[in-house]
């Protein structure tokens, strides 16, 4: 029985096949470093934006206040300190947005030291953040200290995430983690002058240490 000889490959197929084979092999070898590099660039870019484009938010005021409560025990003096510090550290437009909402909550708090002081209890739970700000404010402006803590928090979070991915042999998935962070508004959290991202970074570090500790204990 006669069999039909296979059709010869056309020039495009002959060229494409080795290129694809080379590409697959190269990606398999470099997926981890490429993934790690892409994630690191995203973290560095986010840290950069946290420094150069910070988001002025109202929570800056009570956090600055609790960081210097021991220095300003009087409610009015503490209120004046917090508002004057923010005024000197943000743009005029941002300060107006923080203090004047047409007679609403922000306007009231800007004019009433006693009511402002009564809110500080819910912020004192972040005592570590307050102590960090108080210490750093001795060598830089308090608003810059808040921005620097945000930058450090971004870098710490990114470093822990990369260490965890590396320990699991999953650095190739780092861009996926970056995409998840983008969808979770990680950049917005980085630009906010609050302790939320620092808390997240410390929580991630604690989880990583706990998981690694269990793995070592059961090895």
Q: What pLDDT digit, counting tens, does each position of 121-158 carry?
A: 999 999 999 999 999 999 999 999 999 999 999 999 99
Contact 36, 111 (CB under 8 A): no
Query: Domain extents for the chain?
Result: 60-139
Contact 147, 51 (CB under 8 A): yes
192 phi and psi, to 5 degrees?
A: -80, 135
Distance in angstroms (rounded) separating the CA atoms of residues 153 and 22: 40
Q: What pLDDT digit, counting tens, does each position of 60-69 carry?
A: 999 999 999 9
Q: What is the mean pLDDT of the chain?
A: 88
Which residue, among 89, 88, 86, has the nearest Cα to 99 in the 3D structure?
Answer: 86
Q: What pLDDT digit, counting tens, does each position of 16-61 carry?
A: 555 445 544 555 677 788 889 999 999 999 999 999 999 999 999 9
Torsion of CA 30, 208, 144, 190, to 10 degrees: 60
Q: What pLDDT digit, counting tens, does each position of 70-112 carry?
A: 999 999 999 999 999 999 999 999 999 999 988 899 999 999 9
Contact 72, 88 (CB under 8 A): no
Q: Identify the residue with better confidence: 182 or 216.
A: 182
Look up the pTM and report it.
Answer: 0.83
């Amino acid at each position: 029985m006669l069999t039909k000889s296979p059709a010869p490959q056309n020039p495009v197929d002959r060229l494409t096949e080795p290129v694809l084979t080379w590409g697959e092999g190269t990606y398999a070898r470099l997926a981890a470093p490429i993934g790690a590099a892409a994630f690191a660039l995203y973290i560095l870019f986010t840290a950069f934006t946290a420094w150069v484009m910070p988001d002025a938010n109202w929570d800056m005021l009570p956090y600055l206040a609790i960081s210097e409560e021991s220095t300003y025990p009087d409610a009015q003096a503490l209120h004046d300190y917090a508002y004057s510090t923010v005024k000197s550290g943000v743009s005029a437009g941002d300060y107006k947005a923080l203090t004047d909402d047409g007679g609403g909550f922000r306007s009231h708090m800007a004019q009433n030291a006693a009511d402002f002081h009564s809110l500080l209890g819910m912020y004192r739970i972040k005592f570590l953040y307050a102590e960090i700000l108080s210490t750093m404010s001795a060598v830089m402006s308090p608003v810059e200290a808040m921005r620097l803590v945000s930058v450090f928090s971004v870098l710490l979070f990114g470093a822990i995430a990369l260490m965890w991915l590396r320990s699991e042999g999953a650095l190739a998935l780092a861009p996926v983690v970056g995409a998840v962070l983008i969808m979770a508004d990680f950049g917005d959290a980085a630009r906010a002058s609050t302790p939320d991202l620092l808390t997240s970074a410390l929580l991630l570090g604690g989880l990583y240490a706990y998981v690694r500790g269990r793995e070592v204990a059961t090895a």
